[in-house]
Amino acid sequence: MKISTAQKNDFVYDIARIREDFPILAKPVHGKPLVYLDNGASAQKPRIVIDRMRQVYEESYANIHRGSYYLSEQSTALYEGSRDRVQRFLNAARRSEIVFTKNATEAINLVAYSYGSSLRPGDEIIISALEHHSNIVPWQLLRDRQGVTLKVVPITDEGEFLIEDFKNLLSERTKIVAVAHASNVLGTVTPLAEIIRLSHQVGAKVLVDGSQAVMHMPIDVQVLDPDFYVFTGHKIYGPSGIGVLYGKEAVLDKMPPFLGGGDMIATVSFEKSTWADLPAKFEAGTPPIVEAIGLAAAIDYVSELGLDHIARHEADLLAYATQRLASIEGLKFVGTAPRKTAIISFHLEGAHPHDVATIIDREGVAIRAGNHCAQPLMDRLGLPGTARASFGLYNTRTEADRLVMALEKVREIFR
């Protein structure tokens, strides 16, 4: 979909036209039209991404940076052009601040291993009770490796980040604060600007896991001012196997490499090696070339639609679906923070979340069930897991109605 500047001024969110851009949405499931509500785990791909990646494989694929021939030069230009696209998307100050990884998990591990290698016993790391395992386990590994202390910011029963408790945890010993921009389970949007401001006052670096935010809202890293911001491609309608680490150049420049091998070196001898300039220092080996190009196409797609337009559409869906689901007997919402993304976690009285997801799948409705890679959060809430409907830019009110009708069938079975 291509939207001109003039059209954006009086843009109408044409959901029928948008849905045509996603081939998989026309696929029936169990003889029913597909209702895909698992966007929080992974979003579907628009044709522009699929076509762009196929075009590269068919017309210009070669390994990058090393070849003195046409195809390599073409692939290199496309790959590095994708870096430029991500830089503009995040409004990073420099292209050297954009590092491609295979996903957000690798990006967090890179920071934990590389920047974390400078931490010493007595230093402290703060995370929150809202975190995905990917923003918990790397810091636990760092704690065990370096002897640092790991602290956790509690949340309310509604799933809100407790900023006053966070203030009380901060001290001159705090070296890293790692927090989700938005919860993958509850949709809670954290008070990020305040978290970053307070962290910097005590000299701590801040890593933001933006995997559940970049597809829902505009991100400007120069305004937010995190030291690191990570996200993954497959949740923003791009391919899997590609992630992004934004890091301030001054911080990245002082960090040791995470992986060793080709392309991250300046010189190699049997006595010693020296490292390439940023961002190559953190991109060892053949990178996800075509995936990075596909990510750039996905970013183009959501940017052309306008993240502000997407946010309004999803806010309407969230309000409508919440109202409709509230009418179901025995349904309890999990996570009711006033500011949240279009995620609804819930449980049905008498029905296990996995049973709920399995039954409504027969109605063509795809949702997620389980602990959502957030076991500590489930423990805090006293739940074994939840069912989760996560909405995206192509979902509709009609699909929310289909979800409600499918859940009513679950109630009939377990009544």
Residues acting as catalytic residues: 373
Sequence-separated (6 or more) residues with CB below 8 Å from residue 262:
284, 285, 286
User: 177: burial class by Cβ within 10 Å (0-12, 13-18, 19+)?
Assistant: buried
Q: Are 346 and 334 in contact (CB under 8 A)?
A: yes
Residue 65 identity: H
- Report the Cα–Cα distance between both ends of the chain, in Å, rounded: 46
At residue 224, the 3 state secondary structure works out as: helix
Omega cis (within 30) before 279: yes
Helix axes 289-305, 47-59, angle to 10 degrees: 150
Residues 6+ apart with CB under 8 A from 88: none
Say if strands 35-36 and 365-366 run parallel, antiparallel, or are unpaired.
parallel
Output the six-digit token pair for 335. Answer: 């996570």
Residues 215, 219, 225, 231, Cα dihedral to 10°: 30
DSSP code of residue 244: E
> Dihedral (C-alpha) 126, 128, 132, 138: value to the nearest 10 degrees?
10
Closest CA to 176 of 142, 241, 125, 121: 125
Closest residue by Cα to residue 295 from 116, 11, 81 = 81
